[in-house]
């Protein structure tokens, strides 16, 4: 379940840092009852970025397959074996 914290609690930086590192999801910060910011640990941020890059790569690959821009892996491997005498 997402954690929601009012902006006034950001004054206690140590507890907010601890909360970010204990949580496996972003911490939502509200201001005057409305969403304002999102905080997360660097580890969670980097993990999120890796997932996003992977999803982007999968989308690119799917688009290339739809356009017919792909090669058979077996054929490519055989050509490499012939080329390098493996």
Give the span between the Cα atoms of 20 and 42, in whole angstroms: 9
Mean of pLDDT over the chain = 94
The two tokens of residue 46 are: 């980097």
Q: What are the backbone angles phi and psi of residue 37, rounded to the nearest 5°?
A: -145, 170
In the chain, which residue ranges form alpha helices assigned H by DSSP? 13-22, 42-66, 73-84
Q: Does the pLDDT at position 2 exceed 90? A: no
pLDDT for res 57:
96
Q: What are the backbone angles phi and psi of residue 32, rounded to the nearest 5°?
A: 55, 35
Q: Once rounded to an integer, what is the mean pLDDT over residues 18-45?
A: 96
pTM for the full model? 0.72
pLDDT for res 25:
95
pLDDT for res 62:
95
Domains, in order of start, for the chain = 1-40 (3.40.1620), 44-86 (no CATH)
Q: What is the distance, to the nearest Å, from the Cα of residue 58 to the centroid of all Cα atoms in its chain?
A: 13
Q: Which tens digits make up the pLDDT trace of 41-75?
A: 999 999 999 999 999 999 999 999 999 998 888 99
Which one, of 31, 21, 26, lies nearest residue 2 by Cα?
26
């Amino acid at each position: 379940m997402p954690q929601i914290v009012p902006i006034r609690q950001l004054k206690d930086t140590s507890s907010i840092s601890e909360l970010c590192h204990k949580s496996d999801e972003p911490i939502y910060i509200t201001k005057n009852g409305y969403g304002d910011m999102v905080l997360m640990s660097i580890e969670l941020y980097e993990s999120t970025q890796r997932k996003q890059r992977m999803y982007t790569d999968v989308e690119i690959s799917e688009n290339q397959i739809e356009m017919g821009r792909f090669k058979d892996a077996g054929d490519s491997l055989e050509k490499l074996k012939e080329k390098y005498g493996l």
